[in-house]
Structure 1
Amino acid sequence: MKIITFLLLGLLSTTALALEPGERLAPWTLLDQHDAPYTLNDQARVLLVARDMDGAKVVNAALDGKPRGYLEQRQAVFLADISRMPGIIASLFALPKMRDYSYRILLDRDARIAPRYPAGEGEVLWLQLDGLQIVSQQVFSRADDLRKALEAQASTDSQ
């Protein structure tokens, strides 16, 4: 009986993390790779979330060669969970490399924000927003697919 109760509680806790269309996101503030603060607000149309290094690599590959301001033009925000990265590695290697990227990365160093969003290993969660309300969500595991979706977002925004 205890096992069944445990399994049911586990199932309920994972469904509680699921995000639904119509749900409103709570604003939060994080620092980017340049230690500049950003607060999620009504202007964001797309929230990209990577919960691990492989997911972040998908975003990096999708944005490779794109000009500075590419995400901002699409009203897109990229949140990376770096809480599992050892601090010494982050400060000596990862952050200096991230500062060279042409796009802003909001860094969740303490897993305060990213666990709210159900992105799997090696995946990027795309939340389409309207005034912080979730319109839809997609998951990407391939850079080409994410790049195409971002290009489509540009044409959607210009209409």
Structure 2
Amino acid sequence: MAVSDQPVAQFWLMKSEPDEVSIDHLAAAPNVPFPWFGVRNYQARNFMRDAMRVGDLAFFYHSGCAEPGIAGVCRIASAPYPDATQFDAVNPYFDPKSKADSPRWLLRDVMFVQKTRYLPLTELRACPELANMRLLARGNRLSITPVTAEEWQFITMELLV
């Protein structure tokens, strides 16, 4: 494969509530793939199913906490596959309309890359360079969003140093 034919890396931001799964959970088992379960939004599911690739990098974002923010980096480690929580009637992510032969919800495994300094949402909002970042869009509640190469570069080279 010629260099120009190689796919360009994609970047993502993946939200998790730290009391459910935090960057520390991944850091505790750095070489173990972790299933990113519980995504129940079609657009976020479609990003995982159609746009993510094994090897892509993602900011691990703590949400639903006193101070939301970026806590680390993880790597996409698997192709999409059915999220088993959709079939478990006692699981909060159970979906009675989803069937084993045609699952609605998928997940991907992620692996720990690094824990970073905690980068709070307020600090991200203060950067004009990130004005168009999907995370910062009014009303955005998606648990998975793409991050442009420029946003990734700015955050990793300017804010996380």
- The TM-score, its normalising length taken from structure 1, stands at 0.31
With a CA cutoff of 8 Å and minimum separation of 6, indicate the structure with the bigger relative contact order: 1
- The TM-score, its normalising length taken from structure 2, stands at 0.30
Q: Structure 1 or 2: larger helix share?
A: 1
